[in-house]
Structure 1
Amino acid sequence: EAVRLYEEEGMSYQAVAERLEIRSNTQVKRWVKKYRNGEDFKDKRGESTAWRKGRPKTKFKSVEEELAYVKAERDYLKKRYPNLHKE
Protein backbone atom coordinates (compact mmCIF):
# COMPACT_ATOMS: atom_id res chain seq x y z
CA GLU A 1 0.00 0.00 0.00
CA ALA A 2 2.83 2.38 0.84
CA VAL A 3 4.51 1.78 -2.51
CA ARG A 4 1.22 2.20 -4.36
CA LEU A 5 0.50 5.51 -2.65
CA TYR A 6 3.97 6.76 -3.52
CA GLU A 7 4.07 5.48 -7.10
CA GLU A 8 0.46 5.91 -8.23
CA GLU A 9 -0.88 8.70 -6.04
CA GLY A 10 2.33 10.76 -6.16
CA MET A 11 2.44 11.23 -2.41
CA SER A 12 5.74 12.07 -0.70
CA TYR A 13 7.53 9.59 1.52
CA GLN A 14 6.60 11.66 4.56
CA ALA A 15 2.93 11.89 3.55
CA VAL A 16 2.73 8.13 2.98
CA ALA A 17 4.36 7.46 6.36
CA GLU A 18 1.94 9.77 8.13
CA ARG A 19 -1.12 8.39 6.35
CA LEU A 20 -0.25 4.76 7.11
CA GLU A 21 1.10 5.59 10.57
CA ILE A 22 4.60 4.33 9.80
CA ARG A 23 7.21 5.71 12.18
CA SER A 24 9.83 6.61 9.61
CA ASN A 25 9.63 7.74 6.03
CA THR A 26 12.95 5.95 5.53
CA GLN A 27 11.08 2.65 5.67
CA VAL A 28 8.83 3.82 2.84
CA LYS A 29 11.94 4.77 0.84
CA ARG A 30 13.35 1.25 1.35
CA TRP A 31 10.12 -0.36 0.18
CA VAL A 32 9.97 1.83 -2.93
CA LYS A 33 13.60 1.02 -3.72
CA LYS A 34 12.93 -2.72 -3.32
CA TYR A 35 9.86 -2.43 -5.56
CA ARG A 36 11.79 -0.60 -8.27
CA ASN A 37 14.65 -3.14 -8.13
CA GLY A 38 12.21 -6.06 -8.30
CA GLU A 39 13.32 -7.39 -4.91
CA ASP A 40 11.24 -9.60 -2.63
CA PHE A 41 9.42 -7.98 0.30
CA LYS A 42 9.63 -11.12 2.45
CA ASP A 43 10.90 -10.53 5.99
CA LYS A 44 14.27 -12.28 6.16
CA ARG A 45 15.13 -11.55 9.79
CA GLY A 46 16.33 -14.61 11.66
CA GLU A 47 16.94 -16.72 8.55
CA SER A 48 20.70 -16.37 8.39
CA THR A 49 23.13 -17.43 11.06
CA ALA A 50 26.14 -16.07 9.14
CA TRP A 51 26.55 -13.33 11.73
CA ARG A 52 27.51 -15.88 14.36
CA LYS A 53 31.24 -16.15 14.79
CA GLY A 54 33.60 -17.96 17.07
CA ARG A 55 33.93 -21.58 17.92
CA PRO A 56 30.84 -23.77 17.77
CA LYS A 57 29.18 -24.73 21.02
CA THR A 58 30.73 -27.81 22.60
CA LYS A 59 28.36 -30.76 23.00
CA PHE A 60 28.81 -33.16 25.88
CA LYS A 61 27.69 -36.78 26.18
CA SER A 62 27.20 -36.56 29.95
CA VAL A 63 27.15 -34.20 32.90
CA GLU A 64 30.40 -35.70 34.12
CA GLU A 65 32.10 -34.98 30.81
CA GLU A 66 30.87 -31.38 30.93
CA LEU A 67 32.07 -31.01 34.54
CA ALA A 68 35.54 -32.28 33.59
CA TYR A 69 35.64 -29.80 30.72
CA VAL A 70 34.65 -26.89 32.96
CA LYS A 71 37.24 -27.87 35.57
CA ALA A 72 39.96 -28.04 32.92
CA GLU A 73 38.87 -24.67 31.62
CA ARG A 74 38.99 -23.23 35.16
CA ASP A 75 42.46 -24.64 35.77
CA TYR A 76 43.69 -23.18 32.49
CA LEU A 77 42.36 -19.74 33.42
CA LYS A 78 43.96 -19.95 36.86
CA LYS A 79 47.35 -20.60 35.23
CA ARG A 80 46.82 -17.97 32.56
CA TYR A 81 45.69 -15.24 34.97
CA PRO A 82 47.22 -16.02 38.38
CA ASN A 83 46.58 -12.53 39.78
CA LEU A 84 42.82 -12.93 39.44
CA HIS A 85 42.65 -16.01 41.61
CA LYS A 86 43.39 -15.33 45.27
CA GLU A 87 42.24 -17.59 48.05
Structure 2
Amino acid sequence: MEKKRKTYSAEFKMDIVHKYLHEGWSQSDLLKHFHIHNSMLQRWVNQYQREGIKGLKEKQGKTIGTNKGRLRKNPSSPEEKMKRLEAENAYLKKLLAVRKGLIRQKKNL
Protein backbone atom coordinates (compact mmCIF):
# COMPACT_ATOMS: atom_id res chain seq x y z
CA MET A 1 0.00 0.00 0.00
CA GLU A 2 1.38 3.38 -1.00
CA LYS A 3 1.81 6.15 1.50
CA LYS A 4 0.10 9.32 0.34
CA ARG A 5 1.94 12.56 0.77
CA LYS A 6 -0.04 14.93 2.94
CA THR A 7 -0.07 18.52 1.80
CA TYR A 8 -0.97 21.55 3.86
CA SER A 9 -2.45 24.81 2.66
CA ALA A 10 -0.40 28.00 2.78
CA GLU A 11 -2.94 29.40 5.27
CA PHE A 12 -2.42 26.46 7.63
CA LYS A 13 1.36 26.79 7.40
CA MET A 14 1.13 30.54 7.96
CA ASP A 15 -1.02 29.98 11.05
CA ILE A 16 1.55 27.54 12.50
CA VAL A 17 4.49 29.84 11.71
CA HIS A 18 2.66 32.84 13.20
CA LYS A 19 1.94 30.92 16.41
CA TYR A 20 5.60 29.93 16.62
CA LEU A 21 7.15 33.32 15.83
CA HIS A 22 4.65 35.80 17.27
CA GLU A 23 2.33 34.12 19.76
CA GLY A 24 5.00 32.38 21.82
CA TRP A 25 3.94 28.76 21.25
CA SER A 26 6.76 26.35 21.94
CA GLN A 27 7.99 24.01 19.25
CA SER A 28 6.93 20.90 21.20
CA ASP A 29 3.43 22.30 21.81
CA LEU A 30 2.94 22.95 18.09
CA LEU A 31 4.22 19.50 17.14
CA LYS A 32 1.89 17.75 19.59
CA HIS A 33 -1.17 19.90 18.95
CA PHE A 34 -1.06 19.90 15.14
CA HIS A 35 0.57 16.45 14.65
CA ILE A 36 3.38 17.70 12.43
CA HIS A 37 7.03 16.71 12.29
CA ASN A 38 9.85 18.88 13.63
CA SER A 39 11.54 19.12 10.23
CA MET A 40 8.31 20.42 8.67
CA LEU A 41 8.02 23.20 11.21
CA GLN A 42 11.64 24.24 10.72
CA ARG A 43 11.29 24.15 6.93
CA TRP A 44 8.14 26.29 7.04
CA VAL A 45 9.73 28.84 9.37
CA ASN A 46 12.85 29.06 7.17
CA GLN A 47 10.79 29.39 3.99
CA TYR A 48 8.65 32.10 5.57
CA GLN A 49 11.69 34.03 6.78
CA ARG A 50 13.33 33.82 3.34
CA GLU A 51 10.37 34.40 1.03
CA GLY A 52 7.38 35.44 3.13
CA ILE A 53 3.95 33.91 2.53
CA LYS A 54 5.01 33.07 -1.04
CA GLY A 55 7.54 30.60 0.36
CA LEU A 56 4.78 28.61 2.06
CA LYS A 57 2.80 27.92 -1.10
CA GLU A 58 2.98 24.45 -2.67
CA LYS A 59 5.66 24.35 -5.37
CA GLN A 60 5.81 20.69 -6.32
CA GLY A 61 5.22 20.02 -9.98
CA LYS A 62 5.33 23.65 -11.03
CA THR A 63 8.11 24.78 -13.33
CA ILE A 64 8.88 28.37 -14.17
CA GLY A 65 10.42 29.23 -17.50
CA THR A 66 10.47 27.64 -20.91
CA ASN A 67 13.67 25.56 -20.71
CA LYS A 68 12.92 23.64 -17.52
CA GLY A 69 12.80 19.87 -17.31
CA ARG A 70 13.96 17.22 -19.71
CA LEU A 71 14.31 17.68 -23.42
CA ARG A 72 11.58 16.06 -25.45
CA LYS A 73 12.45 12.79 -27.11
CA ASN A 74 10.83 13.87 -30.35
CA PRO A 75 11.64 17.54 -30.89
CA SER A 76 8.92 19.40 -32.70
CA SER A 77 11.10 21.81 -34.66
CA PRO A 78 14.31 21.37 -36.66
CA GLU A 79 16.05 23.89 -34.39
CA GLU A 80 15.25 21.79 -31.31
CA LYS A 81 16.45 18.64 -33.07
CA MET A 82 19.71 20.37 -34.06
CA LYS A 83 20.25 21.64 -30.49
CA ARG A 84 19.71 18.13 -29.08
CA LEU A 85 22.10 16.53 -31.58
CA GLU A 86 24.78 19.13 -30.85
CA ALA A 87 24.45 18.44 -27.13
CA GLU A 88 24.75 14.69 -27.76
CA ASN A 89 27.87 15.19 -29.89
CA ALA A 90 29.51 17.38 -27.25
CA TYR A 91 28.78 14.76 -24.59
CA LEU A 92 30.19 11.93 -26.71
CA LYS A 93 33.35 13.94 -27.50
CA LYS A 94 33.97 14.52 -23.80
CA LEU A 95 33.35 10.88 -23.00
CA LEU A 96 35.77 9.77 -25.73
CA ALA A 97 38.43 12.21 -24.50
CA VAL A 98 38.09 10.92 -20.94
CA ARG A 99 38.35 7.32 -22.04
CA LYS A 100 41.41 8.00 -24.17
CA GLY A 101 43.01 9.87 -21.29
CA LEU A 102 42.42 6.93 -18.94
CA ILE A 103 43.85 4.45 -21.40
CA ARG A 104 47.01 6.55 -21.85
CA GLN A 105 47.42 6.90 -18.09
CA LYS A 106 47.24 3.13 -17.63
CA LYS A 107 49.93 2.53 -20.27
CA ASN A 108 52.28 5.03 -18.58
CA LEU A 109 52.00 3.21 -15.23
TM-score by length of 1: 0.49
* Larger RCO: 1 or 2 (CA < 8 Å, sep 6+): 2
- Whose helix proportion is higher, 1 or 2? 2
Highest Rg: 1 or 2?
1
Q: TM-score, structure 2 length as denominator?
A: 0.41
